[in-house]
Amino acid sequence: MKPNYIKQLWSEGKPVINGFLSIPCPLVSEVMAEQGYDALTIDLQHGIVDYQASVGMMQAMRASKVVPMIRVPWLDPSAIMKALDAGAYGVVCPMINTAEQAAELVSCVRYPPAGIRSYGPSRASISAGTNYGPEADENMLCFAMIETREAMGNLEAIAATPGLDGLYIGPADLTIGLTGMRYPNGFDREEPEIIEAIKRILASAHGHGIKAALHCGTASYALRALEWGFDMVTVANDIRMLTNAASASLKAVRQGIDDSASLPTGTVDQY
């Protein structure tokens, strides 16, 4: 089986740069995969992506070295197992609030006797290479998202779950879970109490020998998270990048038109 490149990077003491895919388009996935990300996560929770689209997106990524992962919609055994059967090398599961839920998540990712994953790697047995069954467990990654007040109350027990590979922080929902709608929604938090919670999750993960990942909105915040010690950072998603690039380009053109219109008559070059 082809080894999980993320695990190789971690074994070398290097961080993982992850991107998020929310547009159900193989071409977008192919373009993103060719940019040099270590991993790309297809978002089946909030993205405009269904299962069949995710398969085509992973096929488009296959030519690159990028590791395909999927954020599943919820703690649903069928969704988790189908994501892995389709070729994902790991799952990110939202709203894990208890150690029992974390244990259920792990069981869905591992084959017996370590878990309850049913055998049927329809595409993975092709895309991941030969000997998939015996080697899958050691290559699959299992991330539990910490996003609520309840999860923070059970943080140490969740992090101690056998077989869990990491904690993944969704800062927007974490902020809402801890403070309601007191602060504006968004990823790159500056509130001291939220930064404290983020660092607490990081410390808990490392204290239990597992990895910590943070979803970031900008490159500058991702670099900051890496300085804190995060093992994986997600830098925006395809929709946000397209929106920002389109907005900046249009703004520059409109500003140029406005600047030209404000010049005195006769100062604009004529062609």
**Confidence check: pLDDT of 269 > 70:** no
What mean pLDDT comes out for the span 246-269?
Answer: 83
| Sign of torsion over alpha carbons 245, 246, 248, 249 | positive
Record the pTM.
0.94
Distances (CA, A) of 191 to 148, 170, 184, 187, 243: 16, 15, 11, 11, 26
Tell me the helix, strand and coil percentages in the chain, rounded to 5: 45, 15, 40
Kindly report the CATH number that applies to the domain delimited by 5-246: 3.20.20.60
Q: What pLDDT is attached to residue 30?
A: 98
Question: Would you please indicate which residues are annotated as catalytic (active-site) residues?
Answer: 46
Average pLDDT of every residue of the chain: 96
Q: Where are the domains of the chain?
A: 5-246
Q: Quick: pLDDT tens for 205-239.
A: 999 999 999 999 999 999 999 999 999 999 989 99
Tokens at residue 180, please?
A: 């309601």
